[in-house]
Amino acid sequence: MFFHRLKTPGLGQNSYILGCGEGLAVVIDPRRDIEEYLHLARENDLSIAYVLETHRQEDFEFGSATLAQMTGAKIVSGCHELFGRTDVKLKDEEELKVGTTRFVALETPGHTPESMSYAVYVKDSGEKCWGVFTGDALFVGDTGRTDLPDPEKTGEAAGILYDSVHRKIAPLGDQTLLYPAHGAGSACGANISDRDDSTLGIEKATNPVFKKSREEFVAHKLAEKMARPPYFSHMEEVNLLPGRPFKWPPGVHVLQPKEFQKRMKEGLVIDTRSPEAFAGAHIPGSYNIWLDGMTAFGGWIANENTRILLVTDHPEAMEQAVKSLARIGIDSVEGVLISGLESWRDEGLPMETLATTSAPETATWMQQDRVHLLDVRDEYEWNDKRIPGAIHQYVGYLEEKLPPLPKDSEIVVHCNVGHRSGLAASILKRNGYSRVHNMLGGITAWENLGLPLDSSGEDQQVEA
């Protein structure tokens, strides 16, 4: 039996292709760029017959319709209206037979009202369930967030999700393999495990949805405070459509430095290099989003209408950056600086630097009351552990609500290791904060050095 999990860098998104016997295959929750699914099918002599959607995804644009157009596959979903246009709508516990494999549709709302799971029964497994594609209902070590449809009904949705997992998924048996739509790093779950593989038996022994009572689980979900990226709303809209093909190569122009400089007046510049490289020299006014963080954070500073210009190290980086933005529905990259910052430098055009610091130096400065420390991690991380004396503002909300600090004061920004704080520092510089330092190594280095940490600092929370 052929089976392959495709992980999307930066999103924590999982999609799957499953061989179902008789030369047929099914793809579950495909992303917008579909080349890899087609390649895997060709290499394994498979014909993609169906595309299964677990729910209307919030954090990436579906490739279902494009994949169906390319292969003749039919799109399968539940019956809820939020699925939009699909070819086959399965009712709760209705079966779909593909080759020698049976799929049983299970309504598992809670994360979103339309969420579906698909229990899979393969040849020679008898009546035992082989695996279940759970979408965002059940993750490895966690469950989907329940605040997306309506933050005011987070607790009510948590109770619905608890019932879905216990009534629909748990009875499939401890041997059942778990295949969720997201893994670690996703914005759809607060504490997803780093491991990708699990069974229902393992989850029953470890996952909060099984270890807590219904009331405790509702309280647990109410306590989650997860940021909602602004591009989620755009994804809700486009994933109701039949699909928007991803064109490759895209119509991105490679620009000479002076042309790049002219176009900067009508758009924004994203520098995809590392925080260290950005600190050494960068184009004034540019944002620093490291390459692997483009999908997760590009949608915080840009939207589908933003005119974007990129600074990259090499052509492969340009390709990755453009694809990363396209996966969240942003197709508006207009140009890339030829030869990266080197060509800009050689033309003698303006450049800026950004100060960096280390954990030991920051600790000394704080003892001397020389700096303000700004923590830009998410609230879940902040509540877990923090540096005494720091104030907190999640990087995604930083431009919307700047920290209440004098713009000429010494500010040290930190995250876990220095990537998100690199973005935060670039945002502060764009907004007139003149003495900003990125603490490279972040709280990871701070903790490794045995410097003080605590877990009580709500008084210094900056309201977003």
When computed from its CA atoms, the radius of gyration of the chain, rounded to whole angstroms, is 23
**Per the structure block, which two tokens stand in for 393?**
């503002």
Catalytic residue among 20, 129, 188, 415: 415
> Is 415 an annotated catalytic residue?
yes
Is-contact 39 27, C-beta < 8 A?
A: no
Burial group, residue 228, by CB count within 10 angstroms (0-12, 13-18, 19+):
middle
DSSP sequence for 230-263: THHHHHHHHTTSS--PPPSS--PEEE-HHHHHHH
DSSP sequence for 56-113: --SSS-B-HHHHHHHH-PEEEEES-GGG-S-SEEEPTT-EEEETTEEEEEEE--SSST
Question: Cα separation of 276 and 422, whole Å?
Answer: 8
Residue 2 corresponds to which amino acid? F
Residue 70 corresponds to which amino acid? M
Is-contact 372 409, C-beta < 8 A?
A: yes
Question: What does each C-alpha distance from 115 to 61, 79, 133, 136, 180 come to in angstroms?
Answer: 16, 10, 11, 8, 12
Active site residues: 415
